[in-house]
Amino acid sequence: MTGPADLDRQVLDAVENLVPLWFSAVEEVTPRLSPRQILALRAVRGRPELNLTGLAERLGVGLPTASRLCDRLEAADLLQRCVRLDDRREVHLMLTEGGQRFLAEISERLSALLGDALAALPPTERLRVEQVLRALGGSVS
């Protein structure tokens, strides 16, 4: 009989097996960015009102680290800092068109790789994996 610890281990193994797919998708996209830089772009894409402090909190880094991260992403023309018209002290972060294209390309490549991996599974197994991934995606912020 499979207990909760066995199930946790199976889920962990499955997630660890997905990591190489993500790395493979990321390696094929230019510019080459670190995982933290990609997470920063994803955070900004998901929250258009995000400021530097909010980004630092979401990434679990200090404000100077988040600022340097944004400097590098701005230099790569993937991100820009925008001053709010109603409060010039408030700066929010926004993806550039290049940043949007970059994330879209990663998503396309990852989708293709994941699609290939799922296609190799029997239909019932594929459905179960898709359900679990949706459930996990909804519970992770």
Q: Is residue 4 part of a domain?
A: no
Question: Which among 102, 116, 124, 122 has a CA at the least distance from the CA of 44?
Answer: 102
Q: Is residue 3 part of a domain?
A: no
CATH number of the structural domain spanning residue 65: 1.10.10.10
Query: Does the pLDDT value for residue 4 go beyond 70?
Result: no
Residue 11's pLDDT is: 73
When pLDDT is cut at 50, 70 and 90, the band that residue 49 belongs to is confident
pLDDT > 70 fraction of the chain, expressed in percent and rounded: 92
Residues 87-98 pLDDT 10s = 777 789 999 999
Q: Is the pTM higher than 0.75?
A: yes
Query: Does the pLDDT value for residue 53 go beyond 90?
Result: yes
Residues 54-83 pLDDT 10s = 999 999 999 999 999 999 999 999 999 998
Q: Is residue 28 part of a domain?
A: yes
- Rounded Cα distance between 58 and 141, Å, is 9
Residue 50's pLDDT is: 92
Residue carrying the six token digits 């799922």: 118
Among 1-5, 17-21, 38-42, 118-122, top mean pLDDT goes to 38-42
- What total of structural domains would you count in the chain? 1
DSSP string, 16-42: HHHHHHHHHHHHTSSS---HHHHHHHH
Q: Is residue 110 part of a domain?
A: yes
Q: Is residue 62 part of a domain?
A: yes
Domain with 74 in it: 9-136
